Amino acid sequence: MASSNAFIAALVTVLFVARGSEAVRCYQCSSDQDGKGEDNCGAYKTFNTEQNIAIECNSEESHMPGSFCVKLVQQSPRGFIWDGRWRQVIRRCASISSTGVTGVCNWGVYENGIYWEECYCSEDSCNSAPNVQISAAIIGVTVIALISILK
């Protein structure tokens, strides 16, 4: 029994160490860089995770290094989208959150009437469409709880 507990404890430690040493991976795009008639960053259409690749935030590919992801949206105040309203989406890595926490979205309206929204998150690929991910911390807590129950 002691050897199985030691094995489980070692496994949990490896999960935490492996997860902690990886950089978070985020999608990186900006709709203002799309060509005419293109929507690669999901400003008007659903964001395509097959077309875009999440990059490591601390790699050379990242335009801005960081430890979490951000999705910024801005939209003009005029009419409806089909009446000429523009919308801009930026997805990238970030190192400073205006709120000081991740896992939240903030929104508001600038003085010129432009609506803005910013969402911060810290899981891999979280600045795409919402998805469910299980972190190493949740797995670790579950394993420790099971060990204490089985004793």
Q: What is the pLDDT of residues 70-128, one digit of tens each?
A: 999 999 886 555 556 788 999 999 887 666 667 888 999 999 889 999 999 989 999 88
**CA-based end-to-end distance of the chain:** 9
Residue ranges per structural domain of the chain: 24-129
Q: Please tell me the pTM assigned to this model.
A: 0.66
Q: What is the pLDDT of residues 52-63, one digit of tens each?
A: 999 999 998 888
Fold annotation for 24-129: CD59 (2.10.60)
Residues 26, 57 contacting (CB under 8 angstroms):
yes
